[in-house]
Amino acid sequence: MELFLDTANIEEVRQGVKLGVVSGVTTNPSLAAKEGAGSFRALVLEICRLVPGPVSVEVTAVDPEGMVRQARELASWAPNVVVKIPVTAAGLEAISTVSKEGIKVNCTLCFSVNQCLLAARAGVAFVSPFVGRLDDVGQDGMAVVRDTVEVFRKYHIPTKVLAASIRHPLHVVAAAKAGADIATVPFKVLLQMLHHPLTDIGLSRFLEDWKAAGLELELPVGR
């Protein structure tokens, strides 16, 4: 399962890429708004420069024609831009148009297998079932991921399942067990996945023992 960062913060993207585990980024209008005023295009281009993989950028129009115009513009910014379009009637109409033009689409705000299936039939490259938001209203968000993966595999549908609205590390594990192709995580969750108190304790003990023994790690000059 691939890991994407769910952020529009340049420093978070830069740090995530340095770790060598992030292969893409997802953004949305809310995340972009948190980064303050400025050129949205410049922000997206910098993220695309840092990340070699897909960078999802969302349309803000709500009508099919507006979505298509924005999708074409966003896709022209960089070769790794993936356009996010919501799973509405207008969204499906726009998806059907731009996907035929070779524009990759990530269908967002999916909350059911039916929505994911419709989006896949319209030609999207990714569907994004929102796990955390379903959990918030008392539904099993991961069940949508699991069932969507099962349906897509049964019918050999090439659309990738991207588990979104990830709230904590256990969501990441559950997404991997459900067979999701990708999980997109906030930077905070990525760091939580990395840290474990027993790792910190073990490293501290190793270093204390090494220091007490008076050992030195001698490296050849120039290395």
**Is residue 205 helix, strand or coil?**
helix
Contact 30, 210 (CB under 8 A): no
Q: Where are the beta strands (DSSP E) in the chain?
A: 2-6, 22-26, 55-58, 81-86, 105-110, 126-129, 160-163, 182-185
Question: Which of the following is catalytic: 34, 84, 100, 188?
Answer: 84
List helix spans (H) across 101-219. Answer: 113-122, 131-136, 141-154, 169-178, 187-194, 197-212
What's at 216, amino acid-wise? E
188 is catalytic: no
Distance separating alpha carbons of residues 12 and 114, to the nearest angstrom = 34
- Separation of first and last alpha carbons in the chain: 35
Q: Catalogue the active-site residues.
A: 84
